[in-house]
Every structure is written in structure tokens, then in C-alpha cells.
Amino acid sequence: IIIIFGVLRIEHTKFVRAPKRKIYEWWTDFQETDPSLSGKIIRNRRIVSRSSNEVIYEDEGNMLRVPYKDRVRVLLYPYEKWVAEYSSSKFDARSVYTLKDVDEGTEMHVVTEISFKGWLRPFGGIAKWGIKRAIEKEWNDYIKLVEEALL
């Protein structure tokens, strides 16, 4: 976790016991029922548009007891990576998800940069550990779900 000029950067790598193509298809199949997979963070999702190389959706959720509503644009690069750009009144963020074949599975590398807005900006440094913990928990839950679905 690094904070540079008000931007919180979280970087992590996960191993998933499933083929890269299957992981990509599972992870980028954005649906309005996805909030049920995300635990407590995302409450509602509405798909705005979808094409072969882009998905736009809106989420409502709660991160560290702070409610938010964001618009997400996901750029798809089958089957190597996808880039999600988040925009809300409370933060802007960008996540780059990269997949790499490794022995017996796939390595997923994720870099997320969050820039807080308004009254949240001064608290970014204080909240970084809670945000990292919430994101890590969500990621571990997703890894478990994708492995169960694909194995």
C-alpha cells in the first residue's frame, strides 16, 4: 500500500487454480446479480451498456460504512487483462487486472489506485488499512467462488 500525492495504491497478486481463459470469462461476465457475490461492499448493480470490448455499469455500496454510488467503465482485453475505471462523488479509481498462465493455474495481478474527493480526501491515509483489508477480503471471497465454479 502506497499513498502518492493523495492517491492510494493497492497492489496484490493472487494464484487461482483455474485456466486463464475461464477466469477471464467468469470475472468479466458482469451481471446485475453480482452484488450477491460481493459480500457487504456492493448492494446494487445496474448494467448500462455492454459491447465486445467495454461494459459500463453503476454500483451502489458501502465501503467502511461510507455509502457510495459509482459509475464503472470496464475495458476488456480478452483473455489477458481488463481495466476498470470508477467514478463517483466520493472517489475516482482505476484497477488493472492482468492474468498470466502459471503451473497448475493462473496468476492474477491487480493494481488499484484510488483518489478520494471532498471530505474523504484528508482521511485517505488513515483509511488505507481498512480499505486494503476490505478489498483483500472481497478478493479472497471471489477467488474461492471462482475456484468452486470452475473446478
Q: What is the average pLDDT value for the chain, to the nearest integer?
A: 84
Look at residue 61 in the predicted model and tell me its pLDDT.
81
How much is the average pLDDT of 102-130? 80
Length of the chain: 151
Residue 141, pLDDT > 50, answer yes
What is the distance between the alpha carbons of residues 55 and 84, in angstroms, rounded to a whole number? 9
- Identify which has the larger pLDDT, 29 or 136: 29
Task: Identify which of 126, 66, 113, 73 has the alpha carbon closest to the alpha carbon of residue 90.
Answer: 66
pLDDT greater than 50 at residue 1: no
CA distance 39 to 88: 21
C-alpha span between 138 and 12 (Å, rounded): 13
Cα–Cα dist 118/143, whole Å: 33
- pLDDT at residue 49 greater than cutoff 90: yes
Residue 5 has pLDDT above 60, yes or no: no
pLDDT band at residue 148 under the 50/70/90 scheme: confident
